[in-house]
Every structure is written in C-alpha cells, then in structure tokens.
Amino acid sequence: MIRRIAYLSIHTCPLARPGSGDAGGMNVYVDGLARTMARRGVQVEVFTRQNEQGGQGIVEVEDGYRVVHVDLGPDDGDLLKMVSGFTDGVLTWAAENGARYDAVHSHYWLSGWAGVVLQDRLRVPLAISFHTLGRVKNASLRHDDTPAGLFRIATEAEVIARAKCVVASTPAEVAELIGHYRADPERLCMSPPGVDHSIFRPGDRAEARAALGIGAGGPLVLFAGRVQPLKGLDVAIRAFAGIADTHSEAKMMIVGGASGERGPAEMAAMLDLTADLVIADRVSFHPPLPHDQVPLAYRAADVLVAPSRSESFGLVAAEAQACGIPVVAARVGGLAHVIADGETGFLVDGWDPASFAEGLDRILGDPALAAGFSAAAVIRSARFSWSATADRLLELYAGMTDTAAPPAAS
C-alpha cells in the first residue's frame, strides 16, 4: 500500500504564484498532484527551498499535504552546495519526524540530482519528472537566449540512467528522452498533468472582463505565462501587430511576470516592442494572478496565443481549452498533444509572427469557426484531470515498490 511520498522541488515552491519569478506550470503540477494524492489518503511532503519571497518553515496546506521549506542560506550560485544542503535537509527532517517513504518523486533536474542521492540513502525508489529538458530547450533557443549548460545536461543523463522510473507528460517527451538521452524505454512511463475542472470551466465573458477591469467591447487576444525568451512573447506581440489593422477593435492582454536573470530585461524589451510597433495603447501588461483567478483571464479572452519554443506539456493551453478558449500555439512538444490542430485551435510550424497572425485572424474573423473550436476545446480538455494523473502515478509508484496502490476516490 502506498502510504507516504516525498516530492522534491528545489527549483520553486508549489505554493508560489504561477507566472512570477521561476513559478509556472511545474508549480501547478506539483501542487495539484499533492492535493489529489492527499485526498486519496496518501501522506505527501513537498520539499522545496526557503526563499526570499516568503516561503519558509512548514506549511500545512491541507490534511495529508504539507510543504517543507529547507533553509539553504544565501543563494551564492553554487549548485553543488545547494543540492548537497537540500539533500541533507530532507534527510534530517525525515529522521527527526520518523518519516518512512514508499517513493521519492523529483521534479526538474536539480531535484533529480538530489533524488538520486536520497534513493540510495533512504533506500526508496526514485521517479523523476523533468518538466523541461536541457537538450530539447537548446534545440529551439531564440538566437539571443542562454543555452542549458553541459553540467545540467550531464546531470539529466545521469538521473535518467539511475532513476527507477522516468515520467514523461506526452508521447513527444518519451521520444525526446529516448532520442536525446538514450533513455531505457522499459523505465519510461507517460502520465499527462491534469486540469482542475472545478475552476477551469467556461464562464460569462462579460463578467470575467468586468472582474478584471477590462472593457467589454472588441476581441481580446491573451498571452499567459512567464516573460522570458523561451515563452515567445516577442512572437505573440508581433503576431498581434500583424492583425491590428484588420481587427481595429482588438486588444491584447499579457498576464505574467519577469522570470529568470534575463526576465527584467525581456520585460523592458517587450514594452519597447509594443511602442516600436505602435500598438502600446492596445496592449496591456498584467501581473500574475492567483491560480484560482486565472480562469477569469481565459474567459475574458477570445483566443490564447502560445508561441513557446519548447513545452514538455503546455498546461496553459490545456487550462484555456477547459475554459472554452481556442489556442494558436507553436507545434512543439506537449502543445501538439494538448491542441487538436484545426479542431480546438491551430498549431504553427516555426516562429514566424505572420503565421501566428494568420491563425489569430482566422479565429477572430469567423465567429462560427471560433464557436466550433470553443466547444471542441472543452470536450478535449476533459481527458486531462488530476484524478486520472493520480491514478496513473499511483500505479507507477506501486510498480516501483511492489506494493498495492490505494483505491481511487469514489
């Protein structure tokens, strides 16, 4: 019986607001999964690092789910020291609290590194979800973006070789793990993230716009995500500029904050870009919303644009579709799995803004097409649920430990 699991998330706290700093889809994934597991009667501890944004100590999120912030001291950029200190912190906490885990599940490569050590020290099997792979990221970088270093890539390869199970979100990620890292297919398993359909569902557009303080008139194009080169906001802005004359009443809303070392510079560059393209008065920048308010942004919009250069899954697109919003996205990674091209939106090859503009124009210019996409998007989104994700992962954990999974919630 799977009774207790440790989730490792060094990179970012699952309680942080998505779209701010390093917080994004991985936060939503870890938090949503932990809540679902706890409601199945599995005790979950999520270990993350203490941070300057207020994440510290032990947070009892709900019955059976707590977040433990490991104090690593000042961040001096020394990854070896960080992972070593984090691993020691997890071991100390487990020993002091008599915690005996059935499995450890790491999220992202830094946590995978710690997980390999804990697998040996605690003698429990390790599952790893990378969420982003260095070699995949490097294959489609914007020309001025910083590539993942050799140390990260070597660490990913070592974790893949030593973990009991490598969890991929989509068939594309399975292929990437095999093609880029020579992962053993017998230790690969697929489990897509879920969507909380209790909050991500269709709603009244006018009410959503009123709640966000947005005018009721005219089409609205939405970009939601962290502001960094990887997410392709520059492409989205240029695509909107490409339809600005044809759709003279249209506006664009950008929801998200600067992310990473280059984030502030990227944000400044995007503000300058809207001015250079003479659309600054039609593009609004909004800070990240609490996750339970993000559906308002989707419901307020007519279409989501997602020109990411790589995505292991594309949770933003899945959530938007759950709210009945068509998506125009890059045909990369998980986005090609989440979106049905020509049925729930359009997938675009490459990052030519004109190609994204064409997709936006077709949806905004054809109400019947948009309505059909919206209805199909809601239906397609139903395949992604936290309940299904938990079912699959509990089977995987049980397989790693040769124990039985707890029954699904009735």
Residue 136 binned pLDDT confidence (cut-offs 50, 70, 90): very high
Asked whether the predicted pLDDT for residue 409 surpasses 70, the reply is: no
User: How is the chain split into domains, by residue range?
Assistant: 4-194+385-401, 205-381
Which CATH code for domain 4-194+385-401? 3.40.50.2000
Asked whether the predicted pLDDT for residue 55 surpasses 70, the reply is: no
What's the CA gap between 261 and 377, in Å, rounded?
35
CA quadruple 385, 27, 166, 400: dihedral, nearest 10: -70
Q: In CATH, what class is 205-381?
A: alpha beta
pLDDT per residue over 146-163, tens digit each?
Answer: 899 999 999 999 999 999
Report CA torsion sign: 89, 103, 157, 169.
negative
pLDDT per residue over 250-265, tens digit each?
Answer: 999 999 988 877 889 9
Report CA torsion sign: 230, 107, 17, 390.
positive
First to last CA, the chain: 18
Residue 21 binned pLDDT confidence (cut-offs 50, 70, 90): low
Least confident of 72-76, 128-132, 175-179, 333-337: 72-76
Asked whether the predicted pLDDT for residue 408 surpasses 70, the reply is: no
Asked whether the predicted pLDDT for residue 192 surpasses 50, the reply is: yes
Planar angle of CA 47, 53, 58, nearest 5 degrees = 35
Write b or e for each residue in 207-227: b if 16 or more Cβ atoms lie within 10 A of its Cβ, otherwise e.
Answer: ebbeebebeeeebbbbbbbbb
pLDDT per residue over 347-389, tens digit each?
Answer: 999 999 999 999 999 999 999 999 999 999 999 999 999 999 9
Least confident of 224-228, 289-293, 329-333, 405-409: 405-409
Give me the pLDDT at residue 52, please: 53
pLDDT per residue over 287-310, tens digit each?
Answer: 989 888 999 999 999 999 999 999
Asked whether the predicted pLDDT for residue 404 surpasses 50, the reply is: no
What's the CA gap between 67 and 127, in Å, rounded?
19
- C-alpha distance from residue 87 to each of 76, 80, 313 (Å): 17, 11, 28
Same fold, 4-194+385-401 and 205-381: yes
Task: Please state the length of the chain.
Answer: 410
Nearest Cα neighbor of 392 from 68, 129, 52 is: 129
Contacts of 259 (CB under 8 A, 6+ apart): 20, 21, 22, 24, 226, 227, 228
- C-alpha distance from residue 141 to each of 2, 103, 207, 272, 310 (Å): 40, 35, 39, 22, 8
Dig out the tokens for 62 from the structure. 């709900």
Question: Any bridge partners for residue 154, and if so which?
Answer: none
The label of the residue with tokens 């292991």 reads 312
What's the CA gap between 353 and 234, in Å, rounded?
9
Give me the pLDDT at residue 27, please: 87
pTM, to two decimals: 0.90
Residue 51 binned pLDDT confidence (cut-offs 50, 70, 90): low
